[in-house]
Structure 1
Amino acid sequence: MNLFAEIEGINYTPFLCRQLNEYCLSDLQRAFEKDGTFILTLNKNNKFAISWWVSPKRTRSYPYARVYDSLFFQGKRVTVIPVLKDEGKDGDRDFLQWDTISLMSLLGVYVVIAFYKDTYKNPRFKNKITNQRFDFKYLKTEIERLSFYQSDAFHWNMEQIKKISELTENALQCYEKISKKLKVQLHSDEEVNKRINEILNEKNSFLNFSRNLAKCAQIRQTHTVQPKEKLSGKKASLTIKNYLGGCYFFTSDEVIIKEPDTAFLIESRHSKNSILPSMNDIEDGLIKMILYTNLKNLRINDKEYRNISMLKLTSEKSLEIDKIKNQNLLNSLYEEAKKNNFFVRLNDRDLKEIVNIE
């Protein structure tokens, strides 16, 4: 099932954002060591909400949840993403893709593309590194430059893409030094150089190549139900076009069609050991609700449908309301759903019903 829709802009009010700690620019490295999302004060006139990604891959370390926690902030919201992350030959290596930048632009989040400079050897593996740390001198320079930037997130992010080649080279040089210093074998540069030649020298080449990668991943996901997912509808490819003409690709966990003209777009989060999925899982799912609730002109096979968005939270455990420790979470989640016009279900029960009972 292939869905197509458009987004003209984002209108969304979050209710579950965490209370963020505040740091000054001189404490930037300590902020990264302590928090995944925080408020950074440059001076009395400039404060940013900063989040950062452990890896450029979206499925690692809940980066969407970190971004979500910054969305309440009324000033500039910034997220720091490594251009690539190499964990060593015994670990993974991930690359930044255009679709990540595109999504952040759509959410009004300024991206600072960065690179790791230092790390430690993982004691459990011969060729693996851990606890990687950014080049904070470079980050401070970019953040200070951003404080004077007057245009919107999209234009800033497009400028960041122009520096991809340079930043990738910086990352490779740092990893080469790390490899020699720690005597750890990393992944071959051959594939990285191929990526540079294909997607980093020219912005359009980078965009098209990354979209192809995202599309391939999307096709794979539509045919695969992960064991941690508990679903009843059909997975579907979702292509979204924004007001600037760019397209990016997602996979909806479930789509249920109610003829003649209603489509339920469902994002699911599942827990095996707890009554509710974790806060990170819920916030991760809410990022999709931000997209789904702002879709226009939803079409399936050239027929237009009315979109109803839903966040489904499921568990292997039976839903016993009195055993849910954080009742405030349910209340806030209900208020967020009500305000932004989507539904939340816990297993087979509507959240509105549960909140009203309580």
Structure 2
Amino acid sequence: MLLAKIQNFSYQKQWRENLEIFDISQTNINDLPSKCLITINNKTFAISKWVSPKRTRSYPYARVYDTFDCSATKIVTIIPLIKDEGKDGDMDYLQWDSVSLMSLLNIYVIISYYESAETNTRNPNKLNKITHQRFGNDYITKQLSELTNYHQSALHWNLNQLSKENLLSKITLVKNAYQHISKILKVQLHNPNNIDKFATNLSKNRESFMRYSRQKAQNAQNREFLTLQPKESIGIGEKTKITIENYLGGYYFFTIDDVIEKDNILYLIESKHSRDSILPSSDDIKDGLLKLMLYHNLSILQDSIGKREFRVILRLTSTTLKSSITLPNTAQNRETFMKNNNFNEKQKSILHSLNLESQKNNFTIWLENIQ
């Protein structure tokens, strides 16, 4: 178990992708891509959307990464407070520290709710399940409009989003919306008492909500620690829990894929693997990079021994690579590596961006062949 602290945050992003731009007055928020630019009241925002409050669903970190450090007036991410997929599906709740992490990245959070859905007919054995849930467009558009004239930090905005009054108001919207969805679709959802229990924890005080959500995060960390995902490669060190505290009072519960000790230095390794492609997917790599943003900014790391010196590594493995390379590296070595492995133009562009990003932020990337 590792404990760490972050006091300051800095990161030089180099891997950039073009984001489409839309006029929000002519577009429903649900019809936008999961990451894009929008214009509203003569301002340009970069926005991303979470499909669930749970951070492990559908790569929300990758989408946040793509909007991070762009030329927009503000960076905004939209997170549902609660997502009920029906009695035969999951039910997920917002965690305090998801918003705290966004505050650390200076990203404005709009905590929203789903107001409509469709029956999920893909599995005849799970009839009480819904899909294609859609956000309340008017609510989000109003929040975006308020942000155009908002001149304080993302931290201040996000703390206001997390105020008891605002959260309980959204709880009411969530309950009413899901009752309507259940009635219209004739689908049984989870017991509404679950929402009431969540509301009770919100209504006490901020510390109650923090404790409640952190217990859920710790439970998820324990499950992740015991589980080897199919896409993960064979480890080279010990899978290790890490709890990170920031100056905002946020605690982040992660599991590091591999931790190696060599010459009294701990190597914190975030691993991504591909069985069929030369590189892991872009979303996988970006998910890893967002975690490296945190690890890169750790001011203190300690274990049972005490404070430790450490290095940060992103390990990208593939069964189809013919050779290995460490980034940052020289242009000549990169060209030889890409030629030997038949990189296409997109893969070359990714490699060059990763080389520059690792160089600017003083971390290392390993690209390795494994069998």
Distance 1:266 1:27, change over 3 A: farther
The Cα shift of 1:73 comes to 1.5
1:94 to 81, 92, 95: 92
Match of 2:61 in 1: 64
Aligned counterparts of 1:114 and 1:5: Cα–Cα separation in 2: 31
Alignment of 1:1-358 (within 5 A): 2-29=1-28, 32-44=30-42, 46-74=43-71, 75-125=73-123, 126-162=127-163, 163-230=166-233, 231-260=235-264, 262-319=265-322, 321=338, 322-325=341-344, 326-347=347-368
Match of 1:353 in 2: none
Distance 1:86 1:183, change over 3 A: same
The Cα shift of 1:85 comes to 0.9
Q: Is the 8 A contact 2:319 2:369 kept in 1?
A: no
Match of 1:354 in 2: none
1:291-334 C-alpha deviation (Å, 9 max, x unpaired): 11111121122522222111111123344643332211111111
SS at match of 1:347: strand
Aligned length: 345
Letter in 1 for 2:70: F
Aligned counterparts of 1:128 and 1:100: Cα–Cα separation in 2: 26
Q: Is the 8 A contact 2:272 2:316 kept in 1?
A: yes
The Cα shift of 1:76 comes to 1.4
Give unpaired runs (5+ residues) of structure 2. 324-337
SS at match of 1:212: helix
1:20-60 C-alpha deviation (Å, 9 max, x unpaired): 1111221341x54241111111133x221111101111111
Q: Percent identity?
A: 43
Aligned counterparts of 1:214 and 1:40: Cα–Cα separation in 2: 32
SS at match of 1:303: coil
SS at match of 2:67: coil
The Cα shift of 1:152 comes to 1.2
Q: Is the 8 A contact 1:276 1:314 kept in 2?
A: yes
Letter in 2 for 1:109: I
Give unpaired runs (5+ residues) of structure 1. 350-358
The Cα shift of 1:201 comes to 4.5
Q: Which runs of 4+ in 1 moved over 4 A?
A: none
Q: Is the 8 A contact 1:57 1:96 kept in 2?
A: yes
Q: Is the 8 A contact 1:55 1:84 kept in 2?
A: yes
Aligned counterparts of 1:180 and 1:245: Cα–Cα separation in 2: 41
Distance 1:196 1:319, change over 3 A: farther
Aligned counterparts of 1:6 and 1:164: Cα–Cα separation in 2: 28
1:117-144 C-alpha deviation (Å, 9 max, x unpaired): 1122223242222111100100011111
Aligned counterparts of 2:147 and 2:271: Cα–Cα separation in 1: 36
After TM superposition, the structure 1 stretch with the greater mean CA deviation from structure 2, 218-227 or 304-313, is 218-227
Q: Is the 8 A contact 1:275 1:319 kept in 2?
A: no
Aligned counterparts of 2:249 and 2:99: Cα–Cα separation in 1: 15
Q: If the length of structure 2 is used for normalisation, what is the TM-score?
A: 0.88
The Cα shift of 1:19 comes to 0.6
Aligned counterparts of 2:350 and 2:204: Cα–Cα separation in 1: 46
1:85-114 C-alpha deviation (Å, 9 max, x unpaired): 111122222111112111111111111000
Aligned CA-pair RMSD: 1.8
Q: If the length of structure 1 is used for normalisation, what is the TM-score?
A: 0.91
Aligned counterparts of 1:244 and 1:98: Cα–Cα separation in 2: 12
